[in-house]
Structure 1
Amino acid sequence: MLYHILYPLHTTLSVFNVFRYITFRTVLSILTALIISFFLTPYAIKKFHEWKIRSDKREDVPDRHETKKGTPTMGGFVILVSTIIPTLLWADLGNEYIWTVTFALISFGAIGFMDDVRKLKRQNGKGISGKTKLAFQILFGLAIAVFLYSRPGFITKLTIPFFKNATPDLGVFCLMLCIFIIVGTSNSVNLTDGLDGLAIGPVLTVCSTFLLFAYLAGNVKFAQYLQIFYVKGAGELAVLCGAMLGAGIGFLWYNAYPAELFMGDTGSLSLGASLATIAVIIKQEVLLVIAGGIFVIEAFSVIIQVASFKCRGKRAFKMAPIHHHFELKGWNEEKIVVRFWIISIILGLVALTTLKLR
């Protein structure tokens, strides 16, 4: 919005020409999101306490989590607001990709909101049924996939990191891949959100990685030099990634141990879906598996646990997702979170090496 107001003024005053640069607007987006998040989160915490927006019943968690009863939830609402407002202010609103990712944020945030509200009403830790949640996720994922596939020039090829000539063309099957990645990532981030600050840390790492990749993919010269797919208009997503990054940092200030506010499904589902949508747009779907390795590990730990119990009658881990396994082994919550952050940063750096190691 401000971009469309201020940039045209460059014909009168050359200083406004700076708003044409994505890098400058990305920095403004980060700072704006930080400011909104820092001021809005304490207010939200206060109001959520007054409105009793908290879950006093948590299932399938170690007993030590009993001390967290009464902590406000649905903090993802703050993240959404802190992401969307800076995006609307500083991004080019004529860019279709901006609206596509914003749709992913809002639609999956709505699913999470319904789930959180149902949990609050029932006070038994159970939200909407898994089938209902999955149905809505697939529906919205399909809408995103069809929209992107219908865009002129949409690339249906798959990028294989570290192999510059390995770009298989999936054709119409890229629709299924798109849905799988969006739904899978959304649920994986949701599974990771089990300890104070655990999910938002890797989200920030992946967001930072994709901020850079989106900018490079949207610049024809950088894309050609680095031998990645050039996606016209994708560079504008750096502004949105910047907003998400600033909002996440502001949220982490209050979500770090001991958390004053939980993300809830409102945040985890929307953040996972938006990151996956960005990955599909910039053609870095496989890279998401690397950069978001923590989410993959958490999801697979649940799959392995269920498969092991059904096939052998025994659990592979003390508890799943795997962060609860380490809790039951005696690790402190802070140690688990920080170590997972470190692993996430390492994976993010590995993802960045794919730009040159081909």
Structure 2
Amino acid sequence: MLVQVLLFTIVMGFLITVLLSPVFIPFLRRLKFGQSIRDEGPKSHQKKSGTPTMGGIMILLAGAVTSLIMTAKFTETSVEIYLLLLVTLGFGLLGFLDDFIKVVMKRNLGLTSKQKLFGQIIIAIIFYLIFRTSEHFSPEMIIPGTHVSFDFGWLYVAVVIFWLVGFSNATNLTDGLDGLLSGTAAIAFGAFAVLAWNQSQYDVAIFSIAMAGAVLGFLVFNAHPAKVFMGDTGSLALGGALATVAMLTKLELLLVIIAGVFVIETLSVILQVISFKTTGKRIFKMSPLHHHYELVGWSEWRVVVTFWSVGFLFAVLGIYLEVWL
């Protein structure tokens, strides 16, 4: 029965996105919500200019609807579900504003970094204040594969802000190739669905598998050559959702492993900036890391499949450390 619930949930999330796409993608095209490609990116990406963006709306709609229906039917609509939807839809709205400014107002950089950071912090603080009322709240962080934990006390609010801001930006950086973020995010959500179910947090498990299904449905139209991009609407929301799931299951540090691809992508940007500012030299041909492999001659599909494979290995390692070790 438990496995059937998860299977039904992922199928439902998948089908809602797939059924929405043939209607929503032409709608975005008619509104001329097309992606602008930055000149400093790989030249091969210029042909993607005009591809409909803001497709993340479909992911968020499918994930939210599926979660609410399935939790109401098989478990209960708990405060955790509302927390997950608060962060996911909140970060999605922030990303939507960023996309809207880029596409409609023709400001290619969207929201300023300060505006985006301010919005992320406000959502993180609201989440923290509500999370404190949950029975699953704990200011402790556990080292994966051990019983060692650190109690952050009131400083845990800083952890919440860092995790939500950090991982939403990490997924945003990863969203640079057709299907790259869709595939890696689906794998990460699938892993956390298993871990949440193992903890008997069935509502969190249902949300996680619903998001996995929604992202996989989006991948049908986002795989190379992409017919639609998720935009910041989707990428910021997915990172925020993953970080929230990790905090609700008290697996914050395990997220660093399961979401290892996003962490590596972010580190590649940080190292590139530090190296260039201190030595005047670049470590990579271009950052984030996926662009480096493009510029050394890998096809876009090869880069994406390789990163998916690495993401899958990280997910398996994470499950092993938590469940079997």
> Do the structures match in fold with TM over 0.5?
yes
Counterpart among 181, 201, 205 of residue 187 in structure 2: 205
Alignment correspondent of 1:64: 44
Q: Give, in angstroms, the shift of residue 195 of structure 1.
A: 0.2
Aligned with 1:188: secondary structure?
helix
Give the C-alpha shift of residue 143 in structure 1.
Answer: 1.1
Alpha carbons 2:55, 2:233 under 8 Å: kept: yes
Q: Give 2:29's match in structure 1, choosing from 40, 43, 49.
A: 49
RMSD between superposed Cα atoms in Å:
1.5
Contact 2:187 2:315 in 1 (8 A): yes
**Matched residue SS, 1:206:** helix
Alignment correspondent of 1:114: 97
For 1:141, the equivalent position in structure 2 comes to: 124
The size of the alignment, in residue pairs, is 322
Instruction: Report how far residue 61 of structure 1 moved.
Output: 1.3
Supply the distance in 1 between the matched residues of 2:105 and 2:128 (Cα, whole angstroms): 34
Q: 1:271 aligns with which of 238, 241, 248?
A: 238
Conservation of the 8 A alpha-carbon contact between 1:22 and 1:239:
no
Given that 1:55 and 1:73 are in contact with CA atoms closer than 8 Å, whether structure 2 keeps it comes out as: yes
- List, as ranges, runs of 4+ consecutive aligned residues in structure 1 with deviation greater than 4 Å: none
Q: What does residue 18 of structure 2 align with?
A: 38
Distance 2:285 2:209 in 1: 38
Measure, in 2, the Cα distance between the counterparts of 1:85 and 1:95. 15
Q: Does the alignment pair 1:290 with 2:273?
A: no
Unaligned runs of 5+ in 1: 1-20, 219-233
* In 1, Cα distance between equivalents of 2:301 and 2:315: 21
1:22–1:101 distance in 2 versus 1, CA, 3 Å: farther
| 1:90-128 Cα shifts (integer Å, max 9, x gaps) | 113531100100111110000000000000124352201
Identity of aligned residues (%): 38
2:238 is the counterpart of 1:258: no
Q: CA deviation at 1:357?
A: 5.3
TM-score by length of 2: 0.95
Q: 1:213 to 1:203 in 2, by over 3 A?
A: same
More off after superposition, 51-60 vs 30-39:
51-60
Q: Which residue of structure 2 aligns with residue 351 of structure 1?
A: 318
Q: Which moved more, 1:49-58 or 1:198-207?
A: 49-58
* Structure 1 segment 134-213 matched on structure 2, within 5 A: 134-152=117-135, 154-163=137-146, 165-213=147-195
Q: Is the 8 A contact 1:108 1:273 kept in 2?
A: yes
The answer on 1:214 being equivalent to 2:196 is: yes
Once residues 253 and 178 of structure 2 are traced to their aligned partners in structure 1, the CA distance between those partners, rounded to angstroms, is 28
Contiguous gaps of at least 5 residues in structure 2: none
TM-score where L is the length of structure 1: 0.87
Question: Displacement of 1:152 after TM fit?
Answer: 4.4
Q: Retained in 2: the 8 A contact 1:55–1:123? A: no
* 1:89 and 2:69 matched: yes
**What amino acid sits opposite 1:99 in the alignment?**
Y
How far apart, CA to CA, are the structure 2 residues paired with 1:160 and 1:299?
A: 21
- What's the secondary structure of 2:150's corresponding residue? coil
| Inter-CA distance 345–273: structure 2 relative to 1 (3 Å threshold) | same
Which residue matches 2:115?
A: 132
Deviation sequence 1:122-162 (CA, Å, 0-9, x none): 43522010110011001101111222123346222211112
Determine which structure has more spread, i.e. the larger CA radius of gyration.
1
Decide whether the 8 Å contact of 2:170 with 2:266 is kept in 1: yes
Report the CA distance between 1:337 and its aligned residue. Answer: 0.3
Tell me whether 334-343 or 49-58 shows the greater mean CA deviation.
49-58
Counterpart of 1:139, as a letter, is: I
Provide the C-alpha distance between the structure 2 equivalents of 1:186 and 1:168, rounded to a whole number of angstroms.
Answer: 24
**AA matched with 1:262:** F
CA distance in 2, matches of 1:328, 1:133: 30
